Structure 1
Amino acid sequence: MTSPEANGPKLSPTYPPKSPVPRKQPTESPRPQPARESGTRLPGLPRPRMRIRNRQTAALTFRADEWAPGKAARQALAVVRGWGCPGLDEQDMETAVKLLVAAAVQDGGRRVSVHLADQEEKILVVALSHRPGTAPEGEVFATLQVLATVDSCGDDLADDGRRLWALLDAAPRSGRTP
């Protein structure tokens, strides 16, 4: 038989047993997400985002400098070629993009965005200047309306800058009316 003293004296604990590690609190609470309602805009709420369905779209961004119109025209044409629009007049498309982007660059912002969309054999080209203010004078729209495939064009002012747009016909030549 072994005595309790052989294994050493029996000591009572002098400190409490280890307690579990406390859980870490998040560094910041989750941010509230604003409620999104479509159709109505109340003062002070952010502008609702546009929803695009059942069509091809592309967004391109460029630094607003003297080379932006040429770069934008080449990239926009490459995107639209990928969409397979057999009736699109590429010369008109290139000219329209160059004119819209050049006008947006003249607004004096640091960047220019080009947005493209297609629907029902039409191509929409929108250039956004990202510089709020008044629209500079120019003959952009008179030049655009001379192009054969431009159905309509225009501009409007928004909180995020001036939007210039043109709608081009991409239907095959036989389907166009003179």
Structure 2
Amino acid sequence: MHQRSGRAGRPVMKNRRGTAWSLEAQPWVPGKAFAEVAGKLGEWGLKAPDTLEPLVRQLVTTVVADGGRHVSLHLAEQTDQVLLLAFSHHPRPSRPQDDDVLARLRELGAASCGTEMTGDGRQVWAVLDLES
């Protein structure tokens, strides 16, 4: 995956499809997030594995629990894989970081995953292999 710096040093995607959603940090938003991701993958003509729904729900539930007003979900696709990144936009979570989230993401089929707390909030991401 090739990235270059854009405005203010932010990464810019090149040579791949991607999109993002800004969502309210509400208990119902993980279901909406899954519907958005599944719809976009279908629009792109891609078939996601059966574990897509629980994986998206886990990512979004994790950042919603930080207690902010909104979360964002980013999706990028390249070479039979998708990257999903959930971002809390809340630098001071209302609860401690869940140390088991990475193990759960791996159980749900993530090829790789990670989490990081930044000055702007928690990021939780997973790379998922697409079905052929």
Higher strand share: 2
Report deviation, 1:106.
0.6
Report deviation, 1:83.
1.3
User: Which is greater in Rg?
Assistant: 1
Taking the aligned partners of 1:128 and 1:120, their CA distance within structure 2 comes to 24
Q: Deviations over 1:107-151 (max 9, x none)?
A: 111001000000111100000000113652252222111123x20
User: Relative contact order, CA 8 A, sep 6+: which one is greater?
Assistant: 2
Taking the aligned partners of 2:119 and 2:19, their CA distance within structure 1 comes to 22
Q: Which runs of 5+ in 1 are unaligned?
A: 1-37, 40-45, 173-178
Over 3 Å off, 4+ runs:
none
Taking the aligned partners of 1:124 and 1:142, their CA distance within structure 2 comes to 17
TM-score, normalized by length of structure 2? Answer: 0.86
Q: Identity across aligned pairs (percent)?
A: 38
- Partner SS, residue 9 of structure 2: coil
Aligned counterpart for 1:130 among listed residues 89, 104, 121: 89
* Contact 1:106–1:136 under 8 Å retained in 2: no
Aligned counterpart for 1:144 among listed residues 96, 99, 105: 105
Q: Which residue of 2 aligns with 1:118?
A: 77
TM-score, normalized by length of structure 1? Answer: 0.65
Q: Which residue of 1 aligns with 2:118?
A: 158
Taking the aligned partners of 1:141 and 1:119, their CA distance within structure 2 comes to 22
> How many equivalent residue pairs?
126
Q: Which residue of 2 aligns with 1:19?
A: none
Report deviation, 1:168.
0.1
Aligned counterpart for 1:58 among listed residues 19, 44, 48: 19
Higher helix share: 2
Aligned counterpart for 2:38 among listed residues 73, 77, 86: 77
Matched, 1:97 2:56: yes
